[in-house]
Amino acid sequence: MTEEQKQWANDALFRGYYVQVRNRNFCLECGHKWNPECKRLGKRTCPSCGTKGLKHVDHWDTDKSIYRYWAKIDMVEGCQVVRMFFAEKYLKRKQTPKYYHQEVMQHWVREDGKITSMAKLCSTMGACRRLDSWSPGTDLEVRTNSRNHQMRCNIIPDKICPGRNTLPIIRRNGYKGYFRGEAPHHFFSAILKYPKVETLLKAGQHSLFSLCVGMGDYGRNKVRQYWKSICIAMRNDYIVEDASDWLDYLGMLEQFDKDILNAEYICPDDLHKAHNHYNSQLQEVQIQQMLERDKEKIKKENVEYRANKGQFFNMRFRNKNIKIEPLTSVQQFLIEGKKLKHCIYTNSYYKRDNSLMLSARISGELVETVEVNLRKMEVSQARGFKNKPTEHHKKIVDTVRENMDKIAKRANTEAVAA
């Protein structure tokens, strides 16, 4: 590690910072202080050292360290070596920053794709909470293949040092100087070890390639399973933009007995639209299967649910294109839970005495499920797809709150007889 490489890493990895204390700016790059023209926080240029784009940090956060990783790629005795360096920038007000660099890992990749990793010892005991708290005085050694060691070996460098030396076979197998967001040693290993992964890289199927490298055996097994379909897609110059969605889409085509070797099916113009179309059909099939399976249970629990919450069933709220109404049967809990992928059916929300479940729709499309606490008369939660709030969340919650008096009035009436 030369001084030139260290200086390159300092410039490439770290940006400048300043702190504002009592309406004075302190440059954390040179220690200079000055009165700002504008008291508002934002990017600054130091009038002393000339550092541009200084980023503001809180004044209580100025005795701190910032950590980054950089890598150098070399060839040694027929192996491709990825040398990983740990860089630290220490900041303190009225002082110039201090930089520390140490080589913490080496990944040796053979021509057959096998990786041997060496690393320094890490302190993960006692008060230390960092997974990568490297011990400076230790040597680079082949470590026990523990879970923590594997996680450290998956660290992706923030920057790659210029002047890369790569094996001819790696360049032959498709490496063009980019790693597609993957760790360099995993990238090299994949294109050396797996011909299908090499083919995907050369064909420009970057999403499928990243799935194979980033998801390990799972990704490669999925690609192997649908390899014939992938080859047909490549022959038709079809680029898979979202590998996960596309492979899920092929799986749904199989369930509907569609020909996954037919380019008309496997090369949709709008993957998102085609995926949603078959996903909706599959959901309907699964819902019908669940309704049939739980038929007796649902029939019995429908009677109890209507007895407990029937007084709310003909209640409707509207706010422009938003329509909110109660769930009126256990079947609706199942359907809504299945479509939005949350747990209102599996966790039997229809049995909760002090909860009223509402369904929010926009133009007939299911958007969120809302739970109202009948004891406190407040919105407990409102969940969209996979329990996440939607862009309409605030509007939906506000609409329910505006109509809380109507809910309270219904809560005090007798339930409709079963």
Of 141-150, 230-239, 295-304, which range is least confident? 141-150
Considering the entire predicted model, what is its pTM? Answer: 0.72
Measured CA to CA, the distance from residue 162 to residue 165 in angstroms comes to 9
Structure confidence at residue 59 (pLDDT): 65
Q: What is the pLDDT of residues 296-338, one digit of tens each?
A: 888 899 999 999 999 999 999 998 889 999 999 999 999 898 8
Average pLDDT, the chain: 86
- Give the confidence band of 227 by pLDDT, cuts at 50, 70, 90: very high
On whether the CB atoms of residues 336 and 366 are closer than 8 A, the answer is yes
On whether the CB atoms of residues 259 and 229 are closer than 8 A, the answer is no
More confident residue, 57 or 216: 216
Average pLDDT of the residues in 176-204? 92
Containing H/E element for 395? helix 393-402
Per-residue DSSP letter, 311: G
- Give the confidence band of 401 by pLDDT, cuts at 50, 70, 90: very high
On whether the CB atoms of residues 115 and 107 are closer than 8 A, the answer is yes
Q: Residue 418: pLDDT above 50?
A: no
Structure confidence at residue 61 (pLDDT): 61
Task: For the chain, count helices (H), then strands (E).
Answer: 15, 14
The token pair at 416 is 């409709």
Q: What is the pLDDT of residues 24-53, one digit of tens each?
A: 778 887 878 777 766 565 667 787 787 776
On whether the CB atoms of residues 172 and 154 are closer than 8 A, the answer is no
Burial of residue 145 (CB within 10 Å: 0-12, 13-18, 19+) is exposed
Structure confidence at residue 40 (pLDDT): 60
3-class SS letters over 43-102: CECCCCCCCCCEEEECHHHCCEEEEEEEEEEEEECCEEEEEEEEEEEEECCCCCCEEEEE
- Torsion from C-alpha of 28, 29, 30, 32, nearest 10 degrees: -40
Residue ranges and CATH numbers for the domains of the chain are 3-160 (no CATH), 194-277 (no CATH), 296-411 (3.40.630)
Measured CA to CA, the distance from residue 115 to residue 173 in angstroms comes to 17
